[in-house]
Amino acid sequence: MKLLVAFSSALALATAASIATPPRPAKKSYDGYKVFRVAVGPEINRINALVDKYDLKTWKGAPRAGAYADIVVPPAQAAAFRADVADLEVITMHQDLGAAIADESSFSVYAAGSANATWFNSYHAYSDHLQFLRDLQSSFPSQSEIVTAGNSLNGNPITAIHFWGSAGKGVKPAIVLHGTVHAREWISTMVVEYLGYNLLTNYATSAEIKSFVDKYDFYIFPVVNPDGFLYTQSSDRLWRKNRQSTSGSTCIGHDINRNWPYQWSVTGGASTDPCAEDFKGRAQSDAPETTALVAWLKTTKANQGLKLFIDYHSYSQLFMTPYGYSCTTVSAKNTELQALAKGAVAAIKATHGLTYQYGPICSTIYKATGSSVDFVNDVVGSDYTFTTELRDTGNNGFVLPASQIVPTGEETYAALRYLLLNMK
């Protein structure tokens, strides 16, 4: 009888545990998937019809006339889709997307305590990113600290390294750099860390960098969507949104960069469909991550001022200014912002020869409402506000080889350096 009771108790505990912690969904395989880049002209309706017919995913929003559509096609549909667009200009970006993801995800082993430049030779697990920031901070204990802007939906801290110069912390205007708002944009994680690492580790040896860090406080947020980023590593490499549910829908995720409480209600710049990758949420700032970042940015602005905010994304090689919500309205500082953006893209080109385009978000890439840039520019009141789409222009898309981390970081630092030298 005692054995039976013990067995029953164990069974009840196991059952309760299984209810409390639902099994993780199987990792989505992209083996054999192809990514085609299709030039879209007058055939816009035809391309959209094919996307609907085969229920395909696109990487840069809905296909638009005059642009390229980057379309992900499962193995079973690849031949038929390719035949349907045989008369159009088509480039195969990925012959086997699964193989590219496997190569990209060959993380190097990170030894705690070794925050050095070898970090940038590969991509890394999320837990290692947090450890890297802790190790970097411990190398400069009197000049830096780990801070958080709050927690994600699942309780993961939105973590940054904050560092400062000779005047001490919190007394100079802030520069805030964001990465990985969209979970699948792994290169933005590494580049934001590269910028922080470069500034902090060269402070003692570079007079120019010392002048930057003495002039401003830097807040480096490599991953502001930690739940989504974790999901890209555990379940679906191409996941974009956070992991929030929506009442009345089985689809998961809000697009954090369509959820900011400014010009959120404007139509045409985000989706009201919870299943869409650019789902704006049921209400502005209803994503916990957005709410946390809004409060943190307002507090930082009030306490020390906000000189520069840059939100880093991928891909397309663009250096953009407000606004996303309108293609006709421009910032009151538009002339100065365009001049700075022009200089930044020239600095990028001078580094490794890559060409970036620049201009307001809406007219340069597409309309985007409820974005961080528009909010920070008009509500928080940053002196300068930009967003960048990093490498590349379509050979690899979101799955950028690790060999491009360092050169992307170098050219991105060149753009930041130009801003730091030329902002008023």
43 catalytic? Reply is: no
User: What is the spatial distance between Cα 297 and Cα 362, in angstroms, rounded to a whole number?
Assistant: 23
Q: Residues 110, 45: contact at Cβ < 8 Å?
A: no
Q: Residues 108, 122: contact at Cβ < 8 Å?
A: yes
Distance of CA 354 to CAs 39, 132, 198, 236, 256, Å?
Answer: 21, 29, 21, 30, 29
H/E/C letters for each residue in 30-58?
Answer: CCCCEEEEEECCCCHHHHHHHHHHHCCEE
Q: Residues 376, 385: contact at Cβ < 8 Å?
A: yes
User: What is the spatial distance between Cα 144 and Cα 115, in angstroms, rounded to a whole number?
Assistant: 14
Residue keyed to tokens 């030039």: 39
Q: At what angle do helices 405-422 and 207-215 cross, to 10 degrees?
A: 70
Q: Is 145 exposed, middle or buried (0-12, 13-18, 19+ CB in 10 A)?
A: middle
Rg (CA), the chain: 22
Closest by alpha carbon to 382, among 128, 196, 209, 174? 174
Q: Residues 241, 254: contact at Cβ < 8 Å?
A: yes
Helix (H) or strand (E) holding 151: strand 144-151
DSSP string for 186-209? HHHHHHHHHHHHHHHHTTTT-HHH
Q: Residues 397, 70: contact at Cβ < 8 Å?
A: yes
User: What is the spatial distance between Cα 241 and Cα 275, in angstroms, rounded to a whole number?
Assistant: 10
Beta-bridged to residue 321, according to DSSP, are 360
- Cα atoms found within 13 Å of the Cα of residue 139, Cβ hemisphere only: 18
Identify the active-site residue in 43, 104, 185, 389. 389
Catalytically active residues, by annotation:
389
